[in-house]
Amino acid sequence: MARRRPTSKPTWTDVKAQLASFDRLGLLDLIQDLYAAHKDNQTFLHARFGLGDDVLKPYKETLDRWLWPDVLRNQDTSVVKAKQAISSYRKAVGEPAGLAELMVFYCERAAGFSNDIGYQDDGYFDALVRTFEQAVGLKPKTYARLRRFDRVLARHAAEPDASWADIAAAEGYTDQAHLSREFRAFAGVTPGRYRRLAPAAPRHLPVS
């Protein structure tokens, strides 16, 4: 009795061997079929070739769906599917700035939904903090301080005659002294000295 040949799972090597016989038209037809077969394939190709106004948008939509679901429509959450969206972008492009933006968005949506429904779990939030630090290189609180300080610089550039007290109040600082401490921490100068230096670009002080 003849022995049956053991079956094995096809690999990329097997697929590549088949593709070697395709001409240009055959490859285009194959890619077109893959493009039409699933929305994820379309998202992958759009991202790989940089097509569309915002290649991150479909990935953010997926993150939003699985991290901040509509509970009134009985939608559930899935951290696994949310992380798959980031993994898919990494495979399609893997551009560091895009990855960081998606990971920050992931943390923002997950934390926002948890706060919205009153979900409290120290382990879950610790995992979010680690994800955020991996993406940005800063703790969330430090990042939030920097973002607010950046808004201060932008507001001063747009309204150069506004008082520091008014800018501090508009951006949510406790008082002008609070803003002054942040100025020294992030810019190394006081608000008054920053204004006297009159930098051409708000985020770049002249070297003395």
Domain for residue 153, yes or no? yes
Is the pLDDT reported for residue 152 higher than 60? yes
Residues 100 and 185 in one domain: no
Residues 80 and 131 in one domain: yes
Residues 124 and 152 in one domain: no
Nearest CA among 169, 171, 163, 170 for reference residue 191: 163
pLDDT digits (tens, 9 = 90+) for 157-204: 999 899 999 999 999 999 999 999 999 999 999 999 988 887 777 787
Residues 33 and 128 in one domain: yes
Residues 38 and 133 in one domain: yes
Residues 30 and 133 in one domain: yes
> How confident is residue 4, by pLDDT bands cut at 50, 70 and 90?
low
pLDDT digits (tens, 9 = 90+) for 47-97: 999 999 999 999 999 999 998 988 888 888 888 899 899 999 999 998 888
Place of tokens 């949310």: 82
pLDDT digits (tens, 9 = 90+) for 89-148: 999 998 888 988 898 899 888 888 888 888 777 777 888 888 888 878 888 888 889 989
Domain for residue 42, yes or no? yes
Domain for residue 5, yes or no? no
Residues 115 and 192 in one domain: no
How much is the pTM?
0.66
For residue 167, what are the domain limits?
141-197
Residues 30 and 64 in one domain: yes
The count of structural domains within the chain is 2
- Distance separating alpha carbons of residues 108 and 136, to the nearest angstrom: 13
Residue 208 pLDDT: 59
Say if residues 65 and 75 touch (Cβ distance below 8 Å). yes
Residues 78 and 178 in one domain: no
Which residues partner with 204 through β-bridges?
Answer: 201
